[in-house]
């Protein structure tokens, strides 16, 4: 710590080195619409990047220092006003719509920011054939369309009938998954397509499909 005398006879300025810095972080900076991210204001690091809670165990900024949180229209934070405890203060950000949301936190007239990317939740918008369709051609190419472009996840996909699984191959084009049976389907038989959880995921972000199924019956 250095001490510098000012021109005013009775005023002294203390220069601390290293000094505490304010960090604002999220436990997840990539989420889907409607989900949450924990936002943490952290006063445990100094200007050299050292964790002061390890350098000086049990020594923190005085508890009870007011901290405010705000964000933009892409989400909201609760609570908006907290206080520090053991050098930390937290709130929860909930996303409303897609985009990049900026979260701000203010303490002692200092403001810091962090960002959270928000992606659409993946879901099926249509199937061809539609659920419970009848008289479906036995050489039908099955198409499942999603709300956003997709890629493979764990690829746990099944096409079954009353006798068991039907072999097929798949391919993706944009936001659509295509299922092509390796041989023609049996006539007058009900088939079920099953996309297991995580079998398909959004091309951008981390959203994965939840368990989804539909059925159809072939022509006689």
CATH, residue 187: 2.60.40.1220
Residue 9 lies in a domain: no
Residue 30 lies in a domain: yes
Judge whether 10 lies within some domain. no
Mean pLDDT for the stretch of residues 19-40: 93
Q: For residue 198, is pLDDT > 50?
A: yes
Of 95, 119, 143, the one marking the end of a domain is 119
User: Length of the chain in residues, anyone?
Assistant: 220
Which domain does 104 fall in, by range?
15-119
Do residue 102 and residue 41 come from a single domain? yes
> Is there a single domain that holds both residue 154 and residue 204?
yes
What's the rounded Cα separation, in Å, for the pair 35 and 43? 26
Q: Is 7 among the domain residues? A: no
Which of 119, 144, 169 marks a domain boundary?
119
Q: The CATH number of the domain where 65 resides is what?
A: 2.60.40.10
Are residue 91 and residue 130 in the same domain, yes or no? no
Domain end: 119, 148, 164, which one? 119
- Within a domain: 88: yes
Domains in the chain, number: 2
pLDDT exceeds 90 at position 18:
no
pLDDT at 4: 38
Residue 157 CB neighbour total at 10 angstroms: 18
Pair (199, 133) in one structural domain: yes
Same domain, residue pair 85 and 132? no
Mean pLDDT of the chain: 91
Q: Are residue 129 and residue 115 in the same domain, yes or no?
A: no
Tens-digit pLDDT profile for residues 91-119: 999 999 999 999 999 999 999 999 999 99
**Same domain? 66 vs 130:** no
User: Among the listed ranges 9-23, 39-53, 146-160, which one has the minimum average pLDDT value?
Assistant: 9-23
- Angle of CA points 206, 209, 214, to nearest 5°: 170
pLDDT at 203 over 50: yes
């Amino acid at each position: 710590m250095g001490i510098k005398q000012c021109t005013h006879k009775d005023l002294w300025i203390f220069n601390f080195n290293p000094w505490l810095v304010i960090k604002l972080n999220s436990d997840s900076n990539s989420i889907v619409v409607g989900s949450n991210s924990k936002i943490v204001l952290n006063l445990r690091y100094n200007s050299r990047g050292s964790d002061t809670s390890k350098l000086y165990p049990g020594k923190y900024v005085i508890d009870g220092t007011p901290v405010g949180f705000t964000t933009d229209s892409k989400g909201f934070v609760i609570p908006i006003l907290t206080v520090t405890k053991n050098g930390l203060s937290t709130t929860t950000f909930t996303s409303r719509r897609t985009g990049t949301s900026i979260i701000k936190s203010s303490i002692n007239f200092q403001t810091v920011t962090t960002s959270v990317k928000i992606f659409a939740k993946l879901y099926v918008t249509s199937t061809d054939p539609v659920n419970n369709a009848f008289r479906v051609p036995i050489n039908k190419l099955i198409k499942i369309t999603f709300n956003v472009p997709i890629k493979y996840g764990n690829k746990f996909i099944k096409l079954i009938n009353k006798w068991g699984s039907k072999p097929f191959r798949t391919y993706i084009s944009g936001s659509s998954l295509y299922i092509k049976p390796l041989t023609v389907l049996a006539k007058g038989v009900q088939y079920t397509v099953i996309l297991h959880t995580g079998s398909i995921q959004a091309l951008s972000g981390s959203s994965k499909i939840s368990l989804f199924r539909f059925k159809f019956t072939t022509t006689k």
